[in-house]
Structure 1
Amino acid sequence: MAKTSPSNPNKKTAPQPNAKVRKLRKRIKKSKQTSEGIQSYSNRRRNKKRKIATSMLAIAILLGSGGLAIAAAWISILFISNPQQVSWLNNFVPGWVKVGSNEQRPHTVQEIQTEIKNQQRIVGEIVALESDTQESFLLPIFRDRNNCNTDCKNIVELRIYHLSTDFEWRSPTKKYYDLTTQFSVTGPEEDEVIAPLVEANAEETAGSSIPLPVSEIGRFDKDAPNPGIWYYLRGDRSSGTNQTAYGYVLYYNSDRRNLQQMISWTSPTGDLPQWEQVTGNDEKELVVRQTVGLEPRLRVYQVQPTEFVVNPIKLSEITLKPSVLQDEAYRDALLIAQSGLWTPAYQWLQFIVKQKGKIPSAAQAQIDLIRLHSQLTKKLADTSWASPSQSVLADLIDGRWGEALKVFEASPQNTAEITTLLKADTGRLESRIDAALQINPNRPEVQAWKALIIASQKDTNQAYKWLNTQSKISPDSLSYIKKLLAQI
């Protein structure tokens, strides 16, 4: 029989949980295990879905890339074999790119002419582009004008063609040409064309903004600068005795195969622009004549470089504003030139240049423009005119004040005719007189013409009042001018 150890009354034992507490603890433990299991299951499921999505995306990318590669290869094959089947690509490329267009494939000259006729337009004569029209050519396209009796065809487009270099279009019997340039043509507006006539009071109305037609194209073969090719477009306008020519100057850049409009031009004398040596530079300048009656006007353009690759040059007009030299005497000379006193201005400028020595090329260009006008006015003044009024007009335009007074005094008939001339002046003579007085207010011959023009347009009393304002006029000059006024 086993012995039992006696119980120790001093030893404390932990209290044992009852049945309810034990059940609660088991339930909590089980709940934790279940929650962890659910969370672990959810994570596993999420990771599985992510892997499936990644795999599907990779497969889609591979399939898409392969499809694009196949599509690109197929489009390339069609573009080479039959470009017309991929012409729908024009909806997704820039306007200057043409894919599979019938108009862009090479054509024979006969096909080109047929196409133009089908568009109800008129084929012009082929214009030489370079030395051989078999290699390239310019083709003007015309259209009939409505409500027209004479010269009813006007140019609406210019096209440039080059012999195709594609192997596919080489033929021993036919020549195929690529269309390399299309240039739309609209004539200059009427008010621009007749502007020189309006300024000279030779036209009563200023004209409209309606474009005038151009009907002729030609090439500047003589004296035109190189490289490149220069053309002109021309139209003609008749109004009374005025026969005005007008149009555009075009430049063709052979390297870039680019046709560019440089300037518009108008000439009341009906003259085409001409290339002339004006400034003494290596290249000649383009001169446009706008003389009306005895009033000279020339517009001179220089060829100058630009920063544009496609259009590397431009035509820049030589003007008298602003003054190139910051010199008071030089500015005064330009002032009297702008008033129309070309010869006195040029004489003054020659003296200034002699003093200064070397001057900038831009200043020399302004001087050369004045010299060119002076040559015209001197030629007119040297002409023997049958009419006293024309003789006086030519002298006054050239600044020959004393010679003009001699004609005025020659006979009563001369006096009456010249008085009528002065009365009809619209400002071109008086502006010259005022400019001369501004530079030298004490010149008796100029003072005399100022008094005469006031007396002709107003009355002699007004002329006397003006003379009284001239404090530095000499007694002899005053007596002489009053004698002239008494003849009116």
Structure 2
Amino acid sequence: MNRPSPLLSQTQPLPQSKRSPWGTVRWIAVMLLAAGGIAGAGWWGVQLMVNPQTLLWMNRWFPDWIPISVTGLKPPQTMTQIRRELEQAGLMAGEPLPLDKNTSFLDQKSLVDEMLLPILKSSTPCQGTCDRIVELRLYQSTLARRKDAQREPYFQQVSALPIVGPDDASVVAPIVDARSGNQGSTRALPLTMLSRFEGTVPSEGVWLNLSGRTVRGDTTIAYGRVLHYNPRRFHLSTPLDWTSPVGKDPVWQELTGQGQPELLIDQTVGMEPQFKVYRVTTINFAPNPTQLEPIALLESALNLPAYDTALLLARSGLWSPSEQWLQSLKRRG
């Protein structure tokens, strides 16, 4: 008969250790942090490949001697170098439009000069002005190469916006009869002038106007595009195209009594006054949280049927009946 080994008989089962629930929680937290770190690193990597300037905002927190280097930007150039490079590409530099001083795009700390440079291309064949604007470039003056005051200043290109003019059909639309067979074409009309809105303008950013002129019969039509520059994000947008059969550029005026200027576009045809009015509103878009929203002019200021009738007659070109309605309304007090 076999007897069990004394060694085996003396072996006691090991007690099972109790696992702390906090250990499991810590393990899960570590895994989540690791996954988040990997995802964040991947996102930053993609951003740096697509937009190398993503990390520029961090420069404001570092001393001047520890800058974050920027890749993907052209080196600073003088105006002579910029013009020479454009000529080699068959383009020309237009007249620079100075903007206000702004924070440097490179270090987010220094105050530098800004300007918009129109890039021109000659159109052949052409009538009138042959040079059209095909691009707008935003430049900032640089501090790195200002040691020698006798040398030509250098400029850093921050961004560029391609420009294509509005199509012919949309420009002539206000003067074209809907029954006419000539509704215009899809040919893009040139934008030839860049200017800044002056006087009473909204306080949000910088408002600019790209414009051109075209002739239809004996009518000179002005047309163009309103631009808005957000200096905080160095972002240039084109919120609105416009056209004016009377050849007038848009103007900013306070029209509704709300304390803010609105954009007025004169689209009068013949003796029939027509206007479009836009106001500035905000949207949830970080690079440029500003847009232009049309204001309905069909809503009368007075809640009176007689007043509405007078406005309707005036819009239809029936001036005498409209005046009679207004006079009768005035007599009623």
Q: Give the structure-1-normalised TM-score.
A: 0.47
**What's the counterpart of residue 399 of structure 1?**
322
Matches within 5 A, 1:316-395: 316-319=293-296, 337=311, 339=312, 341=314, 395=319
SS in 1 for 2:214: strand
**What's the counterpart of residue 385 of structure 1?**
none
Equivalent position to 1:265, from 230, 234, 242: 242
What fraction of aligned residue pairs are identical, expressed as a percent? Answer: 30
1:214 offset after TM fit, Å? 0.8
**What's the counterpart of residue 97 of structure 1?**
52
**What's the counterpart of residue 298 of structure 1?**
275
**What's the counterpart of residue 171 of structure 1?**
147
Equivalent position to 2:195, from 180, 193, 218: 218
The aligned amino acid for 1:399 is S
Structure number with higher helix proportion: 1
SS in 2 for 1:341: helix
Matches within 5 A, 1:248-259: 248-259=225-236
Contact 1:320 1:334 in 2 (8 A): no
Contact 1:234 1:247 in 2 (8 A): yes
Q: RMSD of the alignment, in Å?
A: 3.4
Contact 2:310 2:322 in 1 (8 A): no
**What's the counterpart of residue 237 of structure 1?**
214
SS in 2 for 1:111: helix
1:199 offset after TM fit, Å? 4.6
Contact 1:231 1:251 in 2 (8 A): yes
1:307 offset after TM fit, Å? 1.6
1:237 offset after TM fit, Å? 0.8
1:116 paired with 2:86, answer yes
Please give the per-residue CA displacement for 1:35-56, whole angstroms capped at 9, x wherever unaligned: xxxxxxxxxxxxxxxxxxxxxx
Contact 2:313 2:319 in 1 (8 A): no
1:194 offset after TM fit, Å? 0.8
In 1, Cα distance between the equivalents of 2:100 and 2:173? Answer: 36
The aligned amino acid for 1:95 is V
**What's the counterpart of residue 136 of structure 1?**
114
The aligned amino acid for 1:282 is G
Gaps of 5+ in 1: 1-89, 343-376, 378-392, 404-488
**What's the counterpart of residue 95 of structure 2?**
125
The aligned amino acid for 1:288 is I
Equivalent position to 1:187, from 141, 165, 169: 165
Contact 2:306 2:325 in 1 (8 A): no
Aligned residues: 255
SS in 2 for 1:237: strand
In 2, Cα distance between the equivalents of 1:259 and 1:341? Answer: 40
The aligned amino acid for 2:135 is E
In 2, Cα distance between the equivalents of 1:125 and 1:174? Answer: 17
In 2, Cα distance between the equivalents of 1:299 and 1:209? Answer: 23
* Structure ranking higher on relative contact order (CA contacts 8 Å, 6+ apart): 2
**What's the counterpart of residue 256 of structure 2?**
279
Matches within 5 A, 1:438-477: none
Matches within 5 A, 1:193-204: 193-199=171-177
SS in 2 for 1:116: helix
In 1, Cα distance between the equivalents of 2:204 and 2:220? Answer: 33
**What's the counterpart of residue 126 of structure 2?**
148
The aligned amino acid for 1:164 is T
Equivalent position to 2:290, from 313, 336, 345: 313
Equivalent position to 1:160, from 126, 134, 138: 138
1:298 offset after TM fit, Å? 0.4
Q: 1:332 to 1:305 in 2, by over 3 A?
A: farther
Please give the per-residue CA displacement for 1:123-162, whole angstroms capped at 9, x wherever unaligned: 1011111269x82211001101121243111110011101
Q: 1:309 to 1:100 in 2, by over 3 A?
A: closer
Contact 1:198 1:204 in 2 (8 A): no
Q: Which runs of 4+ in 1 moved over 6 A?
A: 329-336
Contact 1:249 1:262 in 2 (8 A): yes
Matches within 5 A, 1:35-54: none
**What's the counterpart of residue 246 of structure 1?**
223
1:174 offset after TM fit, Å? 4.1
Contact 2:310 2:323 in 1 (8 A): no
**What's the counterpart of residue 206 of structure 1?**
183
Q: Give the structure-2-normalised TM-score.
A: 0.67
Q: 1:236 to 1:340 in 2, by over 3 A?
A: farther
In 2, Cα distance between the equivalents of 1:340 and 1:187? Answer: 36
